[in-house]
């Protein structure tokens, strides 16, 4: 099963994708995570993407569609995929169709996380992750069970993203409204869009997504 998770910054795409990976063995392809890895490794793509990401703007369509095509080539044809943070523009949506078709795949669901943007700034600025395994946490909504120790791997190192400040978050949201939200009608025309209430608790959102996937 191939799924797109769509929603503005902080909507919970990464959180829900991680749960689907844990619970269903689907593979998560997050262009944000792949770009951050490229920045960290100092690859040519990382060098191009760094300043753009720190400003909260979108990296070029060619770069992100290129990394998605390459990532798909690494997967066996029967592995299900969750696209997290991709596509984000009409051109990327078009590329994704071509990328999937060329590999004999198709899209089964587009799940939109509906949220109140004002609450998202609070979610994003409180976010941190385990520096070792990447497990996501939040200062108020999801602290590790034992203070300062990752629930999943026991690491005591955590990190925050450089683009998780209020000003950059506002730019990321404006980019979402201007370039990403307008691609929904492409998928609505195919009757594969489902909306879930992203303001509910993490467990409730996961339940709503499961209901869509298991229907």
Active site residue 123: no
- CB nearer to Zn ion: pick between 132 and 194: 132
Q: Is 150 annotated as a binding residue?
A: yes
Interface pick for ligand AP5 out of 127, 187, 193, 208 (rule CB under 6 A)? 127
Active site residue 190: no
Phi, psi of 15 (to 5 degrees): -60, -45
Nearest to 3 by CA among 113, 90, 144, 126: 113
Q: Is 161 annotated as a binding residue?
A: yes
Residue 144 in contact with ligand AP5, rule: CB under 6 A: no
User: What residues between 109 and 148 interact with Zn ion by CB under 5 A?
Assistant: 130, 132-133, 135
d(CA 112, CA 101): 23
x-marked contacts with ligand AP5 along 21-60 as a string, rule CB under 6 A: ----------xx--x----------------xx--xxxx-
Phi, psi of 142 (to 5 degrees): -160, 85
184 binds, among ligand AP5, Zn ion, none (CB under 5 to 8 A by kind): none
The catalytic position among 161, 170, 179, 195 is 161
Phi, psi of 190 (to 5 degrees): -95, 0
Count the Cβ atoms, other than its own, within 10 Å of residue 194.
15
Q: Are 126 and 136 in contact (CB under 8 A)?
A: no
Residue 107's alpha-carbon distances to 4, 75, 206, in angstroms, are 8, 16, 20
Nearest to 1 by CA among 140, 106, 148: 106
Active site residue 48: no
Residue 194 in contact with Zn ion, rule: CB under 5 A: no
Annotated binding site: 10-15, 31, 36, 57-59, 85-88, 92, 127, 130, 133, 150, 153, 161, 172, 200
Binding site for ligand AP5 (CB under 6 A): 7, 9-15, 31-32, 35, 52-53, 56-59, 64, 85-86, 88, 92, 123-124, 126-127, 136, 138, 141-142, 163, 172, 201-202, 205
């Amino acid at each position: 099963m191939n799924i797109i998770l769509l929603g503005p910054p902080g909507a919970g795409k990464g959180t829900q994708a991680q749960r689907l990976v844990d619970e269903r063995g689907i593979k998560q392809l997050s262009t944000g995570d792949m770009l951050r890895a490229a920045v960290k490794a100092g690859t040519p793509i990382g060098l191009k993407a760094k300043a753009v990401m720190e400003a909260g703007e979108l990296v070029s369509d060619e770069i992100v569609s290129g990394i998605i095509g390459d990532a798909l080539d690494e997967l066996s044809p029967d592995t299900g995929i969750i696209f997290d943070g991709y596509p984000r523009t009409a051109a990327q949506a078009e590329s994704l169709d071509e990328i999937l078709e060329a590999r004999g795949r198709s899209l089964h669901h587009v799940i939109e996380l509906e949220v109140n943007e004002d609450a998202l700034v609070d979610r994003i600025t409180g976010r941190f992750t385990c520096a070792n395994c990447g497990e996501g946490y939040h200062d108020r909504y999801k602290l590790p069970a034992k203070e300062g120790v990752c629930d999943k791997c026991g690491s005591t190192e955590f990190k925050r993203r450089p683009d998780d400040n209020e000003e950059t978050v506002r730019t990321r949201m404006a980019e979402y409204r201007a370039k990403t939200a307008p691609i929904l009608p492409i998928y609505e025309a195919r009757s594969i869009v489902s909306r879930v209430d992203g303001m509910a608790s993490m467990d409730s959102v996961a339940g709503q997504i499961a209901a869509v996937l298991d229907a």
